[in-house]
Amino acid sequence: MSSFPDAIDSLQQLVRLRPDDAAAWRRLGNAQLAAAAPAQALKSYERAIRLQPANVRAHNNLGQAQLRLGRRADAMASYRRALSLDPRYAPAHNNLGLTLYEEGRTEAALECFRRAIELDERLMEAHCNAGNALARLGRASEALESYERGLRTQPEHVALLCNAANALLQLKRPDQALTCCERALAREPRSAKTHNNRAAALRMLERHEEAIAACRQAIALAADEAEPWCNLAAVCLALHRPGEALEHATQALARDARSPQAHANRAAALQMLHHHAEALTAYQQALALKPDYAEALANLAALWLSMDRPHEALSCCDRALALDSQLPYALNVRAAVLLAQQRPDEAAAAYERLLAIKPDFPEAFGAWLYARSLCCQWQHYTADLERLVQAVDADQAIVQPLQLLALCDSPGTQLRAARAIAATVTTR
C-alpha cells in the first residue's frame, strides 16, 4: 500500500509535464483507484477520455470508478461504450457482468462472464465470476466446472481454489474441499474466507476441534465478518454445546443482522435449550430472508414435532426435501413424524431411504427396525435384529431404549443401549 502515494506523486508530476497525454492520465486513474480513491480516479479517467474519446480501456476503467462510487447506471453505460468501441474487449464484458450481478440479473451477468472467457481464457476473474453466478443460481456442479476450468490455466489461483472449495462443500464433498483450502492457504495464509471454508469442511468431516481452530483463525483475520462466527456456532451445535452456539450466533447477527445462517444457528441453539417460542421466531426470521433454506426447514420440522404439531412438521420436511431430496436430517424428521402419526409402513420406507444415503445416521437403524416390526415386515428381520444387538453390545448409540424394548427382551442389551444414549446426551 505504501507504494501507491509514490506512484500517484510520480504520475501527477508526469501529467503536469504532459497534460495532453491520455495514457498518463489513465495510468494516474489506475493508481488512484488502486489506492481506494475512486473520486480522484474518475476525474483522471474523464480527462483521458476527453483527450482520447476512443480509448477503450479508459471507458472501462471509468466504469470501475463509477461502480466504486455507487453509480451503477453510469458504470454500465461506460462498459457498454467500451464494448461499442471494441466488442472483443474481455475485461469490459466481465465488468458489465459484475454490474448486472450486483443488480440481481444473474442470468444476464453469466452470459457476460462466459463471453469474457470465450474472448480471453486467461481472465481468471471471469472464471471466478461465472462460477459465482452459477452458484447463486443453485447450479453448484456447473459452478465447480467453471472454477476448475480456470484452475487448469492457473492451478494455484487462490480465489478459484477458495471458490471451488465452497462449491465442493455445497456438493457435500468435504475431503476435496479441504484439499482446495490447503492449496489456497499455502499461497495465501491470511485469507479469512479460505480459513472459514476449511472450517466448514472440517465440520462436515466431524473433525470438530480442528474446525473450531480454523474458525478462530478466520475470526482473527476478519473479526467484523459474520460468516466465521456462523461457522463457529454451527460447530458448537454439532458438539451439542448450545450455550456457546447461541453466543456465537449472536456475535454473527451483531455483524450482519440479515444473515439467514446466523438466525438459523440461533434458532437451533434456542431449540436445544428448549426455548421453543424464541426458536420458532428465529427460524421464521431465517426463512423470511432465505425461503429456500432447506436445513432451516428441516430443523423447524423437528421443532414442530417436539411441540406436538406433526402436520406442520411434515409440511416443513416436504418443503426441505423438495429443495434437497437427500438431506439426511429432513428424512429422519419426516420418518419420525410418520411414526408419530402411526404410519409405520411409510416410516419404514423413509428410514430405509435415509440409511441408503447415510448408513451411520444416529439411531436411524434401530428406528427403521422398530417401524418394520410395527407393520410386520419380517423379511431379513432376524438378521437385522442380530446386527442391531451386536452394535448395542459394542456400545453404539444405534437405537432409542424405548424402541429397543419392543425389539429385544435382553435386560443386558437394554441397559447397554440406555447407557450408550446417555453417553451421547452427557457429551451435550
Using one digit for the tens of pLDDT, what is the confidence trace for 48-91?
999 999 999 999 999 999 999 999 999 999 999 999 999 999 99
Evaluated on CA atoms 314, 320, 325, 330, the torsion sign reads negative
The domain of 326 spans 294-355
Q: pLDDT tens digits for 191-216? A: 999 999 999 999 999 999 999 999 99
Examine residue 344 and state whether it is found in any structural domain, yes or no: yes
Evaluated on CA atoms 305, 419, 212, 136, the torsion sign reads negative
Examine residue 342 and state whether it is found in any structural domain, yes or no: yes
Give the residue with greater pLDDT, 422 vs 425.
Answer: 422
Q: What is the mean pLDDT of the chain?
A: 91
Cα–Cα dist 42/61, whole Å: 8
Cα–Cα dist 234/238, whole Å: 6
Predicted local distance difference test score (pLDDT) of residue 395: 72
> Do the Cβ atoms of 112 and 96 come closer than 8 Å?
yes
Helix, strand, or coil here: 221? Answer: helix
Predicted local distance difference test score (pLDDT) of residue 389: 77
The model's pTM: 0.80
Q: Would the pLDDT of 243 be above 50?
A: yes
Cα–Cα dist 258/206, whole Å: 28
Q: How confident is the model at residue 421 (pLDDT cuts 50, 70, 90)?
A: low
Q: Count the domains in the chain.
A: 2
Examine residue 46 and state whether it is found in any structural domain, yes or no: no
Q: Do residues 350 and 383 share a domain?
A: no
Examine residue 232 and state whether it is found in any structural domain, yes or no: no
Q: How confident is the model at residue 426 (pLDDT cuts 50, 70, 90)?
A: very low
Using alpha carbons, select from 19, 13, 18 the residue that is nearest to residue 31: 13
Q: Cα 403 to chain center, whole Å? A: 36
Examine residue 304 and state whether it is found in any structural domain, yes or no: yes
Q: Do residues 302 and 351 share a domain?
A: yes
Cα–Cα dist 388/188, whole Å: 48
> Do the Cβ atoms of 259 and 230 come closer than 8 Å?
yes
Cα–Cα dist 283/269, whole Å: 11
Instruction: Provide mean pLDDT across the span 156-181.
Output: 96
Cα–Cα dist 283/296, whole Å: 7
Q: Do residues 349 and 393 share a domain?
A: no
Examine residue 383 and state whether it is found in any structural domain, yes or no: yes
- DSSP per residue, 125-189: HHHHHHHHHHHHTT-HHHHHHHHHHHHHHSTT-HHHHHHHHHHHHHTT-HHHHHHHHHHHHHH-T
Taking the CA atoms of residue 72, residue 77, residue 78 and residue 83 in that order, the dihedral angle to the nearest 10 degrees is 130
Q: Name the most confidently modeled range: 142-146, 325-329, 336-340.
A: 142-146
Cα–Cα dist 233/394, whole Å: 32
Cα–Cα dist 28/9, whole Å: 9
Helix, strand, or coil here: 280? Answer: helix
Q: pLDDT tens digits for 180-191? A: 999 999 999 999
Q: Do residues 305 and 345 share a domain?
A: yes
Give the CATH number for residue 313.
1.25.40.10
Predicted local distance difference test score (pLDDT) of residue 360: 83
**Up-side HSE of residue 339: CA atoms within 13 Å toward CB?**
23
**Site of grid cell 465442493:** 168
What is the separation, in whole angstroms, between the first and last Cα of the chain? 48
Q: pLDDT tens digits for 371-383? A: 888 888 877 778 8
Examine residue 194 and state whether it is found in any structural domain, yes or no: no
Examine residue 35 and state whether it is found in any structural domain, yes or no: no
Q: Which residues, other chains included, contact 372 with Cβ-Cβ below 8 Å and sequence gap of 6+?
A: 344, 348, 378, 381, 384
- DSSP per residue, 51-119: H-TT-HHHHHHHHHHHHHTT-HHHHHHHHHHHHHH-TT-HHHHHHHHHHHHHTT-HHHHHHHHHHHHHH
Cα–Cα dist 244/104, whole Å: 35
Predicted local distance difference test score (pLDDT) of residue 55: 92
Predicted local distance difference test score (pLDDT) of residue 80: 96
